Structure 1
Amino acid sequence: MIELQNITKAYYYNGRPKYIARNVSAMFPTGARIGLMGRNGAGKSTLLSIIAGSLNADAGRVRITGSMSWPIGLQGCIHPDLTGTQNVKFIARVYGVDTEELIDFVSDFAELGQNFDQPVRNYSSGMRARLQFGMSMGIRFDTYLIDEVSAVGDA
């Protein structure tokens, strides 16, 4: 379950607040599929980052029960100087999952071929997205946060 309690987040421009969220409260039950839609710049990614804990709200509280993925689509969990394989090994250690099983899953899922053993900085954006999506799907989470569903494949 994810519960938002009076979440407020603002950015300041010329001394004036631009509210991304103002006193937002919501409860998302375990097992629900929720879509957050809005215009570009509306604050969807910001709200997901607050839920994930990678960005602090100005006020309010987020309560989470169960395990939760990092925000898929925000490429922060991939180190560009490491190979795809090395990135997967790192994530496997962080999350305490079997390294070889995760490598096998991501290798099959992402379909990177020989690129899997090349530095991620050489990947296209679609290849990076498939790597990250595969790493997340290869780990059992109770909740998956997915930002920009179109970011998981080449256009």
Structure 2
Amino acid sequence: MSPTEFHAQAFRARIARLTAEIAGRPLDAALDAWLNTEHGAGSPAYRELKAACETGLAEGWLCDREGGGIRYGRIFRPDDELHGFSVDVVDMRDIAGPHHVHPEGEIDLIMPLEGDARFDGRPAGWLVCPPGSAHRPTVTQGRALVLYLLPAGRIEFTR
């Protein structure tokens, strides 16, 4: 197994441990608060996930596509090991992405890389968007990686 394959598998295993903790929970303000308390910026889980994302970025298996000034990629499709969540990561610098709807919600991990980067106005940590919510994902004040967990991989881009 190459170092890249090892890092990707370790990243998947780390995500699976996290999704096991949140599987079946409503995507709401209570989950947002719990994630930020238990796994927020500065926590071991946050540091592990951010380091894994930075490694994936450096090795080229993370954010391997680019469009409209945003690097992005779906890393894992939803499956049983990930408790039905897909995993996407975007690399954004002072930009707004395409408007979309979260039919089943979305869980975002915000990882600033440069400046005091904010995602939809939020600093480093978690943002939970409830089912049916919509936004034009926006990074301001620098550059950030944002990891998206989507139930059943569902996302609907609007025109």
TM-score by length of 2: 0.29
Determine which structure has the larger helix proportion and give its number: 1
The structure with the larger Rg is 1
Determine which structure has the larger strand proportion and give its number: 2
